A and B are shown apart, each in its own frame.
Chain A
Amino acid sequence: MEIAIVITLAAGVVKGLAWLRQRLRRRRTEGGVPLGQASIDSAVPTFRIVSLGLQGAGKTLLLASMFHELQAPTRQSYYLSAAPADVAKLTEWFATMADTTDPGGWPAGTTLSETRRFAFTVKTRTADSVHDILRLDYLEYAGELLTRTDPAGAERQAELFAQVQSADAVLGILDGQRIRQHLDGEARGWAELDRTLNILIPHMMNITCPISFVLTKWDLLADLHEDEDTRLARVRDLLMANDHFRALVNTHGTQRVVRLIPVSAVGRGFATIDQHGHVVKVPSAQAQPTYADVPLSAVVPDVFDQAEMRLHEEFTADLDEEIRQWTRRTPLERLSSAATLAGQSAGRALLQYIGTPAVTVMGDVMMGMFLDSRRRRADTEEAQVDRQVNQAERRVQEFLHARRRVLRDMRGKPDQLEGRLPSSRLTAGL
């Protein structure tokens, strides 16, 4: 019995190792990924984005509508892709929001247990391939975490603050409904807005990454003035009248443009405020998010610019290494040495001198044929190698071109917004 166990175990291990070895060999010989692709894949950076906003400010709906707007390359060359479970969640939120058969049916407030990181990949298509350009790590959390003081939320709160400190970009979320309340003369509106600024500003003051402010629920401010930029200018003046807010904007403004981006997750006319002050849907209205795609586009190119030097160096080094490794694996270097030698008369003598067994026993004719065959083989293999390297070069160029196009499109979004709403720029300019 005991021996049988030992034998069975040993047999299992032998089989397992043989299988592993075979796989390793196959991987080593086949290579699998085309030359250059590994470097391209590792040249895709991940940027961490945090939207900083209190409970009810509109973070969840902003995320859902942003994904809704960017899930296909409709108005831009790029689109967002996410894991199926994340897509399902985002789609569910959007559907709940857009469903007017349930007038009060908004997605519930985010719970502590629903804290979740969404991993998006910004992709673009070219004629015959899809390129991953960059990845975004986006934290979705309960806004109340920012203000909790009890021990139950302490762990998650520490996680959130750490995320803010290490973020590549931060979006400050300002609740448009509070501004509406304030402008309507409700004391609560200003009190809440002031509280929001007092909570967000210390966090945003301590970071050096790109920031933008997002003014949510823009549709609720539609009747402030018929001209959209005048409306935004009123909000901007209101915010800039706050000393702390102005100081924050000016501090960050020395490095790059700081924007105030109005967004509506649902679009104008989809919802209204009822007599209790609740946002309710308008029956049979259609959700059409407004500017929901802009906030990401406003910060990502800046983040990219900041990281570009490092990314470029890493990419070049990776590519160098990949090609070095690859040429080491192919007989190219040896082939070309042989071909060069065979082409020279001295080469033949050298070969004889070195004493290659086959060569030493060959007559002149045989020797000539041997060298010819070596040269032919070397030529074809060298041509193959050259072709692969050329293809790799094309692949790399195509990737770089696709990335430039995506970044250009991204930069275009806040620029277009600014063309339409000049008040969206909070800093004078650089």
Chain B
Amino acid sequence: MATVTAQAWPFLVARGRRAGYRTLLMPQPFLAEGDAALLENNVQPSGVPDRPEVLNLTTRMGRAISVVHATHRLTAADLGQADDPKDEHGRPLHLLYGYVRPRGTRVEPDPADLRTARATALEVYRRFLDDEANFTTGAGQPFPLRTSLRTPAESRPAPGAAPRWRPSLRVVLAATLALLCIVFLLFTLTILGDTPTPPKPECVIEAGTTDCPTPTPTGSSTAQKRMVGGTSSARK
């Protein structure tokens, strides 16, 4: 089974004590391509701390990527402080961190990769907290993934395997034509079949003429007026 060892780029989205959420660490290719909003717009905080979640996205340049992300509530220990850090409104601070890798078929992310990403994210975050106002987004440098990816290439048939049947162009054409004919036929039948045929006994006059006389005011039409009138009076 073909597996490849790929690279991943760490990222970090977080807010500061005063500054709002920003991508503080952006995978280097995103910075180069100007895909600034992709992670911020898509990575959702999770209620379960540090649990990895995988999100498949496509970059502006059309690259298929997987984002492995987790949420970490910052503790006093993370920052070497006495109290748990808070924003100016008294809310706990969270890191939305993780890494971006080329999309492969689904595999369980290796926890070691997430730990690497978190260590990088924390380092960046400490620098950010020191000077929120003047912090500029950093470029996440690639690191080798422990998680091995099975690439979609694997699903290609092995050389020498029995060729799979592929419908010829002729068959596709014939099938489409047949389908069209059937659809047309049935459609016509449906339309014709559904045209309500007047129930003969009820419209006795119909037998010898093309149209029924204008109906005399009936229970329904009086009721109809009554109801609409009722509506308007009710709204007054």
Contacts and interface: CB of A to CB of B under 8 A. Distances in A.
Interface of A: 1-2, 5-6, 9-10, 13-14, 17, 21, 24-25, 28, 36, 55-56, 92, 104-109, 111-114, 142-144, 147-148, 150-156, 177, 276-280, 308, 312, 315-316, 319-320, 323-324, 327, 329-338, 340-341, 350-351, 353-357, 359, 374, 377-378, 382, 385-386, 389-390, 392-393, 396-397, 400-401, 404
Contacts of B167: 2, 5
User: Chain B contact residues (Cβ within 8 angstroms of A): what range?
Assistant: 35 or more
Contact of B179 (A9, A105, A150): A9
A122 B213 CA distance: 47
Interface centre among B93, B168, B230, B235, by most chain A C-beta atoms within 10 angstroms, is: B235
Contact of B186 (A2, A14, A337, A355): A14
B13, B42, B198, B223 interface centre (most CB from chain A within 10 Å): B223
A396 B230 contact: yes
Given A332-B220, A338-B203, A400 B170 contact: no
16 contacts: A2-B174, A17-B186, A17-B190, A55-B89, A106-B90, A109-B20, A111-B45, A113-B45, A142-B21, A277-B88, A312-B232, A319-B228, A331-B198, A333-B212, A337-B213, A341-B204
B175 A336 contact: no
B207 to A, nearest CB: 4
Contact of A356 (B204, B219, B224, B227): B204
Nearest to A309: B235
Contacts, number: 231
Interface of B: 13, 15, 20-23, 34, 36-37, 40-45, 47, 84, 86-94, 96, 165, 167-168, 170-171, 174-175, 178-179, 182-183, 186-187, 190, 193-194, 196, 198-199, 201-209, 212-213, 215-216, 218-221, 223-224, 226-228, 230-232, 234-235
Given A9-B179, A21-B193, A142 B231 contact: no
A149 to B, nearest CB: 11
Contacts of B178: 6, 9-10
Contact of A327 (B182, B193, B213, B224): B224
B90 A104 contact: yes
